Amino acid sequence: MKTSCRSYFIIAKLEMQPKSGQFWAISSKPLNITCTYNGADSQDVNWSYNGEIPVFRKRLETRSDENGVHSISGIYKSKAVLSDSGNYSCSVGDFNRTMMLRVIEVSTTISSNILKVDASVTFGCGVFGVPVGESVDIFWSKEEKPIKYIPSLKDRYTYYKHTKTLVIHKTVQSSKQKK
């Protein structure tokens, strides 16, 4: 008669997504923070926001496999706002993970609502929610494509980093507008 005995250990751990540390989000975009506890048994994942219990919608999913029990908890908001900035922590027993969330708000202005062909147009970009002493790089795009990769704009724009202003020179009528 053949017998065998197998033993294994499940090492408990807690992970946070985005990773612990600092994370930037954009206002009016979805916000999703997840903590996953892996261990031998199911555990409640506790959340705090700046030391208080958060009022955001939370979800919990538990599943098991050969690596143990996975308790997945998340905080979700359909639209982040500036006031969501702060410290988020999740904990299970002695395990704790913390992340600092910074929500920024980006607004775009245009020098004129009526554009004339062969004129210049100026776009401004305002960024709010950035802590004092930190800076944010601005990248301009048209229809999700960086402007430096748009052949029709080659040599026709100037970006002023200090004022976060973009000037497009000698505007042309697009093929979409000609129809």
Rg (alpha carbons) of the chain, rounded to whole number: 25
Taken in order of first residue, the domains within the chain and their CATH numbers are 13-104 (2.60.40.10), 111-178 (2.60.40.10)
Closest CA to 63 of 84, 87, 38, 81: 38
Q: How far is CA 124 from CA 88, 160, 167, in A?
A: 32, 10, 9
pLDDT of 44: 83
Q: How confident is the model at residue 179 (pLDDT cuts 50, 70, 90)?
A: very low
Contact 123, 149 (CB under 8 A): no
Place of tokens 């308790």: 71
- Find the mean pLDDT for residues 105-122: 82
Q: For the chain, first and last CA: distance in Å?
A: 85
118-150: pLDDT as tens digits:
888 898 888 888 877 777 788 888 888 888 898
Q: Give residue 18's pLDDT.
A: 77
